[in-house]
Chain A
């Protein structure tokens, strides 16, 4: 079974530029998450989708971050304009819907460096 796919793995940009990350979850997983992991910290939820609807985006900095999940499968996370403090690993994860006993399956992450 294919895992969660993310791209690109690494991205270096200058502040005020824009960047987009892509995620393809495990087939059949209705719930998709984007997390931000800053070095030395635990993952912090940015946004949670169930199918193509947003469940929680309370911690998404909406002035610069946006995310969409068209057709309830792939998802894109965009940052525009980027700030230095956005340097982090952006993790995509998926799970079967409606199961708080279920586990999260993570992609390998997209490491962003903002100069």
Chain B
């Protein structure tokens, strides 16, 4: 079946540090991959997505590349800010428009 595994948190970084949050997936067919973010007190919102192998999604300085050979979609940012403190969820969707989420990684950025 389809599933997503992401690195457990919490992650605490100093401002301007480099961020990587690992995500791997298991899927049949050709899924689309997503990163969602949940800021404190808010609902989940799309951060970025990639719909086919080797695609790179990017938004707000975050990037992730769809790697079919390693079944991965790791989230990266070169220099985090305090405002990036949130919970990040990796997700995939299959041809049936069904979405599968990872357990989430909490990020805290300290000044």
Find out whether the CB atom of A48 lies under 8 angstroms from the CB atom of B98. yes
Residues of A within 8 A of B (CB): 4, 31, 33, 40-45, 48, 50, 55-56, 91, 93, 95, 97-109
Measured in the bound complex, the distance between the Cα atoms of B102 and A91 in whole Å is 15
B residues contacting A by CB (< 8 A) are: 4, 31-32, 34, 36, 42-46, 49, 51, 89, 93-104
Contacting pair A31 B97 (CB below 8 A): yes
Q: List 23 A-B contacts (CB under 8 A).
A: A42-B89, A42-B101, A42-B102, A43-B89, A45-B98, A48-B98, A50-B97, A56-B96, A95-B97, A97-B97, A98-B97, A99-B97, A100-B96, A101-B32, A101-B49, A101-B93, A102-B97, A103-B46, A104-B44, A106-B44, A107-B43, A108-B42, A108-B43
Find out whether the CB atom of B46 lies under 8 angstroms from the CB atom of A101.
Answer: no
Q: How far is the CB of A69 from chain B (nearest CB, A)?
A: 15
Q: How far is the CB of B22 from chain A (nearest CB, A)?
A: 15
* Contact B34–A103 (Cβ < 8 Å): yes
Complex Cα spacing A91 to B14, Å: 32
Are the CB atoms of A42 and B96 closer together than 8 Å?
no
Q: A42-B102, A108-B43 are in contact. Are A103 and B49 (CB under 8 A)?
A: yes
